[in-house]
Amino acid sequence: MLRYLYTLLYILAAPLLCVRWVYKSFKPPQYREPLRERFGIVRKETKESIWFHAVSMGESNAAIAIIKRLLAKYPDLNIIVTTTTPTGARQIFNGLGDKVTHHYSPCDLPGTIKRFIRRAKPKLLVIMETELWPNWLHHLKEQQIPVILANGRLSERSAQKYEKVFSLADEMMDAFVKVLSVNEHDAERFQRIGLNRDKSVVTGNIKFDMDIPQFTDHEYYPDWIDEAVWIAASTHKGEDELILKAHQLICNQVPDARLILVPRHPERFESVARLVEESGFRMARRSQPSGWKQEAQVLLGDTMGEMMKAFNISNITWIGGSFAEIGGHNPIEPAVLAKPVITGPHIFNFNEIFCDLIDAGGAQMVNDEEELAELVVELMQNTSKASGMGQKALQVIEANRGALDKTVSVIEGYL
């Protein structure tokens, strides 16, 4: 049975995981992960809980929206949220505070998940997007605890990988009572890897239902108000160099152009700062307002949880993870703010959303830094075109709202 082989391989890899977790336990408080929680040693609950699991920031935002809606109707719910990353943990704390209990996610070993279940006492698990852990799902099903996959996404690439281990995928799919997919394509892919059709519900993408935040322009970088500003959001290793090359080409034609550069992961802030300095640009850092100067050409977004503020003062947005073969990141946030969206060619994680935006004229795809620079210059020089793209992006968002209500309605049936 593939699950036993998987568990054996996990046990063999466990020493390396422990080294990683021990290392993280010595990090600064904002990045520290309690090692005991990775082995299911969490506070014992006195009553049953509703368990939500979110990997990182994007999944946490979707979970927060659901949890707020549930707590508004059922204020006495005991809710536990687990996240995989510190950024997800911080997002849960910022969004929900002490209304929920947060733990880092337990590792996928049989003893660990059984220990976590005994202590957390979940009567329902809601997993956000696509976190499929074989032992979690096996032991939750064994103890007759229902599991819902909410805002479910499964790329074609991932579906093909699961098809190669179909018996394991089929066993995991059998553990879900409902899989709430963001669209028909994702629903079909979940069914291909073993999900029973009567467990499949297409609810839409919760992220389309995010509220449009209200900001004041001075909240992020006041010296750049009314400047020609573009943002490269959630960049990965290998992309920052391309972005800085593009910015140089842009500055050759629009000398006053400004770039907000936001790495995806906080551990890369310092290395990206060095790249900016080596490129010869005058740099400011979001985390150091004492050093802010209007003549800065690049603002390094080296804080967490402020992406929407950065989008707000940008005229044009480029979404990272799309030059590197990461698969892109969620373009909904800039679209909600009516910003024109640009992406590289690798968008398989959010293919349907990007295609909708591109088809509607709210987004465009570029293949390299030269095409990116050319398009950014065009939009900076043709502000009416940029504004029109932004409005078309917002129209796509408005047309797809409603997933949150559908998702909460399904979850209520299992409370």
pLDDT tens across 110-153, in order?
Answer: 999 999 999 999 999 999 998 899 999 999 999 999 999 999 99
Per-residue pLDDT tens digits for 36-61 = 888 899 999 999 999 999 998 889 98
Are residues 141 and 261 located together in one domain of the fold? no
- With CA atoms as reference, report the closest residue to 302 among 235, 247, 242: 235
From first CA to last CA, the distance across the chain in angstroms is 33
* pLDDT at residue 27 tops 70: no
Q: Are residues 229 and 368 in the same domain?
A: yes
Q: Is residue 317 domain-shared with residue 254, that is, in the same domain?
A: yes
Segment 241-252 shows an average pLDDT of: 98
Q: What are the residues facing 181 on neighbouring strands?
A: 152, 202
Tell me phi and psi for residue 366, to 5 degrees: -125, 155
The answer as to whether 211 is a domain residue is no
What's residue 26's pLDDT? 64
CATH code, 115? 3.40.50.11720
Please indicate, yes or no, whether residues 189 and 258 belong to a single structural domain of this protein: no
CB–CB of 85/54 below 8 Å? no
Residue 251 has pLDDT above 80, yes or no: yes
Residue 22 has pLDDT above 70, yes or no: no
- Any domain includes 291: yes
Same-domain status, 104 and 231: no
Residue with tokens 């990007």: 354
The larger pLDDT score, comparing residue 142 to residue 221, is at: 142
Give the model's pLDDT for residue 35: 77
Q: Are 339 and 260 part of one and the same domain?
A: yes
Least confident of 6-10, 313-317, 405-409: 6-10
Between 292 and 381, the higher pLDDT residue: 381
**Predicted local distance difference test score (pLDDT) of residue 12:** 85
| HSE, side-chain direction, 13 A CA sphere, residue 214 | 0
Q: Is the pLDDT of residue 28 over 60?
A: no
Please check whether residue 151 lies inside any domain of the structure: yes
Same-domain check for residues 23 and 46? yes
Residue 19 burial class via C-beta count within 10 angstroms: exposed 0-12, middle 13-18, buried 19 and up = exposed
Binned at pLDDT 50, 70 and 90, residue 374 comes out as: very high
Tokens of 302: 């080296």
Element (H, E) at 21: helix 2-25
| CB-based burial label for 290 (10 Å; 0-12, 13-18, 19+) | exposed
Q: Which CATH number do you get for residue 223?
A: 3.40.50.2000
Write down the residue that tokens 């900001």 correspond to.
215
Specify if 228 maps to a domain.
yes
59 in active site: yes
Residue 377, in any domain of the structure:
yes
Domain of residue 298, residue span: 217-399
Output the average pLDDT for the chain.
92
Are 382 and 331 in the same domain? yes
Helix, strand, coil % in the chain, rounded to nearest 5? 50, 15, 30
Which residue, chain included where needed, has tokens 């995010």? 210
pLDDT at 240: 98
Domain contains 289: yes
Could you tell me if 111 and 65 lie in one domain? Answer: yes
pLDDT digits (tens, 9 = 90+) for 69-111: 999 999 999 999 999 888 888 889 988 999 999 999 999 999 9
* Catalytic residue, candidates 33, 37, 45, 59: 59
C-beta of residue 81 within 8 angstroms of C-beta of residue 100: yes
Cβ(388)–Cβ(378) under 8 Å?
Answer: no
The dihedral sign for the CA sequence 302, 307, 313, 318 = positive
Quick check: 275 and 300 in contact, CB under 8 A? Answer: no
- Could you tell me if residue 210 is inside a domain? no
Is the pLDDT reported for residue 325 higher than 70? yes
Residue 24: pLDDT band with limits 50, 70, 90: low
Amino acid 21: pLDDT? 66
Residue 33 has pLDDT above 70, yes or no: no
Quick one: 279 exposed, middle or buried, by C-beta within 10 A (0-12, 13-18, 19+)?
Answer: middle
In a domain, 212, yes or no: no
Determine if residue 181 is left, alpha or beta; phi over 0 gives left, psi from -120 to 50 gives alpha, anything else beta: beta
| One domain, residues 406 and 347 | no
For 293-318, what is the mean pLDDT?
93
Residue 31 or residue 140, greater confidence: 140
The answer to whether residue 403 scores a pLDDT higher than 80 is yes
> DSSP strand E in 117-226: where?
122-128, 147-152, 176-181, 200-202
Domain shared by 318 and 408, yes or no: no
Same domain flag for 183 and 265: no
225 Cβ neighbours under 8 A, 6+ residues apart: 217, 218, 313
- Beta-carbon count within 10 A of 181 CB: 26
For the chain, give the percent of residues with pLDDT over 70.
96
Does 324 have pLDDT greater than 80?
A: yes
Q: How many CA atoms lie within 13 A of 258 on its CB side?
A: 23
- Answer whether residue 29 shows pLDDT above 60: no
- Tell me the mean pLDDT in the region 354-382: 97
Query: How many structural domains compose the chain?
Result: 2
